[in-house]
Chains A and B, each alone.
Chain A
Amino acid sequence: MRAPHRIIAIALGLALGLAARPATGSDLRDLFFGEALYRAFQGQYFDALQRLDTELAQYHRLDEPELDTLHYHINNAEFSVGDFELNYRMHQRAGRAIKAVLEGAVDEAVRNEAAFRLARIHFQKDQLDDAQNALGRIHGAVPAQIRDDVEFLRANIDMATGRPGDAVKVLQQVHSDESLTGFVAYNLGMALFQDGRAREAIEQLDKAGQLPAADGAGLAIRDKSNLVLGSMLFESGDFERAKQSLDRVRLEGPFSNQALLRAGWAGASAQQYDRALVPWNILVEREPTDGAVQEAMLAVPHAYASLNLHGRAAITYGRALELFSKQIERVDASIGSIREGHFLKALIREESRQDETWVIRLRSLPDAPETYYLMELMASHDFQTALHNYLDLEDLQSRLMAWKTSLDAFDDIIQLRGQNYEPLLPEVDAQFRELDSRMRLRREQRKHLSERLQAILTAPRPDYLATAEERIAGERIALIEKQLGDSDNPESLPLRQRAAHLRGAITWRLETEYQERLTAAHVHLNELNAQVDALTRQYDAFVKTRQAAAHSYVGYDVQISRLRERVGEALQRVDMLMARQGHMIETVAINQLEARRGRLVAQQTEARFGVADSYDRAARAQSGAEGR
């Protein structure tokens, strides 16, 4: 990344971080999308992604997705998945997710927002041409809430690609809300400077350095504007104005040390050493590991010497010498500590990850000398990426180990369920088969009755509606009639007449009560239907329960063994990547410390000679005075 690009990227990162809007959960219609948001709002992006990936996959598999509750939030969900991936530092997947939105059938405003998000990812990954192409896809209506962000990003890309003149034109048109004002003003100043318009750049930074700011980021960018402005004025030899600008930098802000150092140099450059000593003397009381403080430790005696106060110079050189010696010991201890693996342990300490400023708070942790001198390094983008990757890998490692344990537990559950069900099921199945055949028989009977009733609606058959008693009576009459036969025996005749009379009585009853009986038969059949339906429900419930019993322990072996294999492989890769990532972090930290050590040694040498020289000069001055 080119240096100016880096400046812009830092500003942009801050600005976009502020401008980022959470995916809203208001008027929520889909509980699982709400759950993904709940996780994301707590910074648990892995869990959020896990939930939302599952929901989106299910949604896209549906034949009628518009009937699903996620349909109400689908655009938001597609964006959110990209946001979560970005926050989980999965830029490749985030880019793919947003491209999918861009290429889908969405309305203009949604497509433009997707194009903006894609451009932002490319810009953050230093892929400037791709970022520009993505911005080029924005046409027509741009949602009001991102309009300024789009233009701000466009200007940053212009600057990063060496077209500061275009960036100036864009930034001059941006009238942003409060959150972006300071960044726009600062970047406009930098664009003017890059465009060779130094005078305008100074005036612009002067404005940026006096803007009202309400929050930490606004105050920081204002301080930075003043620091850069002071540096430019110092460079152009305007020391008085440089000092005024540097004095505007807050004493407690992140740029305060550099501002104090340079304010001192502005005074010294104007030969006003007594004025230079004011900021430098404040600075030397600050955190001794800071580069600006160490620089001031040498600048202070130098100013005293320039004021011919050689005794004071000798004392302050002595203090500097003592400080450098201590700091060299500290750096050596830090290097040793890193080599013993304590740095990585300190970085993954739970308490150091509780809030956003944990990198700064690391310094105050006990037993973490390895973090001295590394604050600047640790605040850099690349180091943060490496460190977050290391922390993510550590998190994945614990997840994978937990999953491994879960798979073992699943095996136990399956085994126990098998032990429980296997002896019971054969008997249950046998009983069920018997009940099943009885149920089938009854169902057949019911069906037969229903068909008969249906048939007699068109061809009346009163005999079908005879009671059991009538049927038996009819059969007995038929038997009697058979026994009487056709004989002309006079004794038989009255008997046959009586039998015919009885049959007539039954027929009479059947014929006269036919309608009533038919209605009653239908009522009874309907009553039977209710019973049969209840029986069918019970039957179905049993079948489901029986299936659930089998499904609770049968058919998992292949899936579990495949998952176990995948978890094992992933764990191996995570271990390997953690070792490489950790080694990389340690190496870079040691390189940084060794560079700082080299500088401290040079400063120590300077201080040592400074002490001797100052004593020498003080002695000569004293003997000169005595001689006079």
Chain B
Amino acid sequence: MTIRNRITNTRPIEQLILAARAFVFALLLCLGSVHGWAQQNDQRQMRGLDEQVQEIKSDALSIAAELNRLEEKLLYPSGTQVAIFIALAKGEQMRLDAVRLQIDGHLVAHYIYSFKELEALRKGGVQRIYVGNVATGDHQLEVLVDGKLEGGADFSRTERFTLRKEVKPKLVGLTLAGSGNTPIALGEW
């Protein structure tokens, strides 16, 4: 609030109140606006920059897509590619702490979950925990899950599955559930 001429307190209080009222009226009209920012020139420049930023984001996404294709072709060719995904069963409230994966006895992934990641899984997100290469044929997958159940009890399960890798990329989804008969369910795509 700007109250000018308040040099001495000889100024009648009415003047101050008038100034306060002037401010109140201004508040009704522009609550939340910020002096100094609203200059049109600044805003124009800012919008121009905003558009350029949107363009570079678009370019970066296109580069990322091409880079992904290159990376996949170079590092995980379809003939040998295997990708493993983790999801939580619908409505599952288990606190997932860690997942460990072994393929043919070799440790390929050991992941410890942050709060944000766990929340994302609970909302229905799916994590690609591992992508790698295996030869065609049968392979043994061992999955170890550690966590805590809703009631606070420790939860630890290990399951073993046989994967058949064919010439096309192999996608494996593991759905985890603290409750129920199938704590670790394997789905193949």
Interface residues of A (CB under 8 A from B): 3-4, 6-7, 10, 22, 24-28, 31, 34-35, 37-42, 46, 49-50, 53-54, 57, 69, 88-93, 193, 224, 228, 231-232, 234-235, 258, 261-262, 265, 268-269, 271, 291, 295, 298-299, 301-302, 305-306, 313, 376-377, 380, 382-383, 385-386, 389, 392-393, 396, 399-400, 403, 406-407, 410, 413-414, 541, 544, 548, 551-552, 556, 559-560, 563, 566-567, 570, 573-574, 577, 580-581, 584, 587-588, 591-592, 595, 599, 602, 605-606, 609-610, 613-614, 617
Verify if B183 is at the interface (C-beta below 8 Å from A): no
Indicate if the CB atoms of A42 and B61 lie closer than 8 Å.
no
Residue of B nearest to A574 (CB): B56
A482 to B54, CA, bound (A): 98
A interface: dominant SS: helix
Contact B123 A41 (CB under 8 A): yes
Q: Is B1 an interface residue (CB 8 A)?
A: yes
Task: Output the least CB separation between B135 and chain A (Å).
Answer: 10
Q: Interface centre among B71, B119, B124, by most A CB within 10 Å?
A: B124
Q: Is the CB of A591 within 8 A of B24?
A: no
A604–B136 alpha-carbon span in the complex (Å): 81
A-B Cβ contacts below 8 A, count: 249
B64 interfacial by beta-carbon distance below 8 Å: yes
Question: B140 an interface residue at 8 Å Cβ cutoff?
Answer: no
A89 to chain B, nearest CB (A): 7
**A50, B71: Cβ atoms closer than 8 Å:** no
- Set A39, A93, A400, A551: member contacting B58, Cβ < 8 A: A93
Smallest CB separation, A290 vs chain B (Å): 12
Residues of A contacting B87 in the complex (Cβ-Cβ under 8 angstroms): 28, 34
A57 / chain B contacts, CB cutoff of 8 Å: 65
A228 pairs with B28, CB closer than 8 A: yes
Residues of B within 8 A of A605 (CB): 7
In the complex, chain A residues whose CB is within 8 Å of the CB of B116: 42
Q: Mark B43-69, 1 if CB is under 8 A from A, else 0.
A: 101100111111011111101111110
Of B10-18, B103-111, B141-149, B155-163, the one touching chain A: B10-18
Q: Per a CB cutoff under 8 Å, which of A53, A574, A588, A613 touches B61?
A: A53
Partner of B24, one of A235, A414, A541: A235
Contact indicator A548/B77 (Cβ below 8 Å): yes
Let me know if B189 and A69 touch, CB within 8 A.
yes
Chain B residues within 8 Å of A610, by CB: 8-9
| CB < 8 Å neighbour of B60 from A232, A386, A400 | A400
Bound CA span A580–B65, Å:
27
Asked if A46 contacts B63 (CB within 8 A), the reply is no
- A542–B92 Cα distance when bound, in Å, is 46
Contact of B51 among A37, A92, A544 (CB under 8 A): A92
State whether A584 touches B49 (Cβ < 8 A): yes
* Inter-chain contacts of B68 with A (CB < 8 A): 50, 54
CA distance A515 to B101 in the complex (A): 59
On chain B, the residues within 8 Å of A299 by CB distance are: 16
Question: Residue on A with the closest CB to B9?
Answer: A305
Q: Among B52, B70, B117, B125, point to the contact of A559 (Cβ < 8 A).
A: B70
Q: List, in ascending order, chain B residues with CB within 8 A of A376's CB.
A: 34
Residues of B within 8 Å of A27, CB to CB, are 90
* Chain A neighbourhood of B33, CB < 8 A: 3, 6, 380
Q: Is the CB of A50 within 8 A of B20?
A: no
Asked whether, in the complex, the Cβ of B21 is within 8 Å of the Cβ of A396, the reply is no
Contact of B37 among A34, A235, A380, A389 (CB under 8 A): A380
Nearest chain A CB to B49 CB, angstrom units: 6
Determine if A34 and B124 form an interchain contact, defined as CB atoms under 8 angstroms apart.
yes
B79 adjacent to A382 (CB under 8 Å): no
Smallest distance from the beta carbon of B77 to chain A beta carbons, Å?
A: 6
B184 part of interface (Cβ distance < 8 Å):
no
Partner of A268, one of B17, B29, B30, B74: B17
